[in-house]
Amino acid sequence: MLNLLPLSLRELCLACCALAFCVLTNATAQDAGMVTQLQGEASYQGAEGGDARVTSFMKIRPGDQVRVPASTSLKLVYFKSATAEVWRGPATFVVGSEKSELGNGQVTVTALPQAAQVPVELARISSINRIGAVVVRGIKPPEADVKQARERYDTWRAQAPADDLLPDLYLYSVLKQYERKDEMKVLADDVLKRFPNSEEAKSLARANAGSAKK
């Protein structure tokens, strides 16, 4: 007969932490990339079935079927391959693990700089409208880390097209990770000035409204 002994509080906490880690790891592993810019309206059908609207900063998963109507453009980043795709409607495609498959329409593919780091940082920005939702609280990064992120940003910004938001989203995600709220607001305000009609820029501004220190 199986003898079941009561768990101590410490053992119970460790078991709960392990379970939570496994769930989180499994969910993250399913994410192939993220929508970083959207002009117009697009829809997708996931494994759960039914059509749903594509939104900026939404994670995408393998098997998602995406439809981009005419006069709409959609930019997404694949984490594993560190590539960005821009689809201009009318277009349809199926999300793969490293790139889109079964595509029908106009697409431009580019490689991201600093492939070892950029996708990891961008992956954290999916909850951009909820300040502090994906941060490591109480941990302050060495100034060298932030300095390195800014250097990468400056290089990427200088090389990227004027209408490309990815460099700004990359730097924002690094600042967001460590709750650098004053710097986040400065960046968000600057992005809104440069991209006044961008819904992504407006989201950044809304998320940081009143967050800076008085």
pLDDT tens, position by position, 103-112:
899 999 999 8
Residue 174 has a pLDDT of: 86
Phi first, then psi, for residue 13 (nearest 5°) are: -65, -45
Other C-beta atoms lying within 10 Å of the C-beta of residue 31 = 15
Question: Helix, strand, coil shares of the chain as percentages rounded to 5?
Answer: 40, 20, 40
Phi first, then psi, for residue 92 (nearest 5°) are: -140, 145
Determine contact, residues 172/187, Cβ cutoff 8 Å: yes
The fraction of the chain above a pLDDT of 90, given in percent, is 41
> What pTM did the predictor assign?
0.70
Other C-beta atoms lying within 10 Å of the C-beta of residue 24 = 10
Residue 178 has a pLDDT of: 80
Question: Does pLDDT of 136 surpass 90?
Answer: no
- What would the mean pLDDT of 59-85 be, rounded to a whole number? 94
Residue 98 has a pLDDT of: 95
Domain ranges of the chain: 32-111, 118-208
Q: Which residue has the higher pLDDT, 179 or 186?
A: 186
